[in-house]
């Protein structure tokens, strides 16, 4: 079955790097996504990675994928106060259309 | 702004009333999704359309829920005889599917409160 797990909270100092972790269980997952949600708002797509990739970098964001351990991480370099939000990991098996989300990680950036 | 839009943004209703939400997807996106998000949780899939056809419904979608996308553009989600357990954020997403590649873009959501 599909299950996506994330740690609930992460606090970092402004300027440090943040690493948000996610594990998934569906071995057929082909696409993995990171979304950001600010209070009272919808989800903003940050980045995504296909399962035939190990890493993807996009400006301050770096996604690492360990297929053997079914582990996905999102690293935010030079974290700013505007990065404070809930970050969701989501998987989509290649045969499915819908996304399965984790419960989200609340990132708090301290000044 | 050409993103996904949803209306209304907030809806407060009394138990037993019917409510309808609207979603306008990104222009030319052929797929449209509805998700529900409760406090402290990630979104959960409800249903999706490819053009005007409703192709999949989650078991979360009870018979009090109905969704339509009559012309393959905007979609409506109706909840009949609302219950307090229906209180949640209802999120719409759209995508332009090309083979297996697909990225869903979300709207701001409609927050429903059932008293």
In three state form, how does the secondary structure of A70-85 look?
CEEEEEECCCCHHHCE
Sheet holding A55-58, edge to edge: A4-6, A18-24, A71-76, A61-66, A55-58
Integer-rounded Cα Rg, in Å, for chain A is: 13
Residue numbers in chain B where pLDDT is lower than 50: none
Q: Does residue A34 belong to the interface with chain B, where contact is any CB pair within 8 Å?
A: no
Question: Which has more confidence, B43 or A41?
Answer: B43
Half-sphere exposure of A86 (CA within 13 A, CB side): 21
| Distances in whole angstroms, Cα of residue B8 to Cα of each of A33, B38, B75, B84, B106 | 27, 18, 13, 19, 15
Q: Does residue A51 belong to the interface with chain B, where contact is any CB pair within 8 Å?
A: no
Cβ partners under 8 Å of residue B56, min gap 6: A97, A98, B47, B48
Q: What is the mean pLDDT of residues A7-29?
A: 91
Q: A29 falls in which pLDDT band (50, 70, 90)?
A: low
- Per-residue pLDDT tens digits for A53-70: 899 999 999 999 998 899
Question: Does the pLDDT at position A15 exceed 60?
Answer: yes
Q: Does residue A24 belong to the interface with chain B, where contact is any CB pair within 8 Å?
A: no
Q: A2 falls in which pLDDT band (50, 70, 90)?
A: low
Q: Does residue A42 belong to the interface with chain B, where contact is any CB pair within 8 Å?
A: yes
Window 9-68 of B: residues touching A by CB (8 A cutoff) are: 31, 33, 35, 40-45, 48, 55-56, 58
B-chain CB neighbours of A88 within 8 Å are 42-43
pLDDT at residue A1 in the model: 43
């Amino acid at each position: 079955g599909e299950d996506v797990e994330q740690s609930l909270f992460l606090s970092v100092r402004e300027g440090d790097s943040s690493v948000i972790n996610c594990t998934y269980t569906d071995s057929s997952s082909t696409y993995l996504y990171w979304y950001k949600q600010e209070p009272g708002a919808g989800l903003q797509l940050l980045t995504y990675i296909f399962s035939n990739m190990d890493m993807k970098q996009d400006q301050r964001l770096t996604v690492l994928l360990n297929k053997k351990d079914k582990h996905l991480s999102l690293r935010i370099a030079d974290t700013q106060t505007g990065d404070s939000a809930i970050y969701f990991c989501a998987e989509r098996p290649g045969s499915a259309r819908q996304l399965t989300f984790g419960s989200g990680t609340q990132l708090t950036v301290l000044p | 702004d050409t993103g996904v839009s949803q209306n209304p943004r907030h809806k407060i209703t009394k138990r037993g009333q019917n409510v309808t939400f609207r979603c306008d997807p990104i222009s030319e996106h052929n797929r449209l999704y509805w998700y529900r998000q409760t406090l402290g949780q990630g979104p959960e899939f409800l249903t999706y359309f490819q053009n005007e056809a409703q192709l999949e419904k989650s078991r979360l979608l009870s018979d009090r829920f109905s969704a339509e996308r009559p012309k393959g553009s905007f979609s409506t989600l109706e909840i009949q005889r609302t219950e307090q357990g229906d209180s949640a954020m209802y999120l719409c997403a759209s995508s332009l599917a090309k083979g297996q590649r697909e990225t869903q873009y979300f709207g701001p959501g409609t927050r429903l409160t059932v008293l």
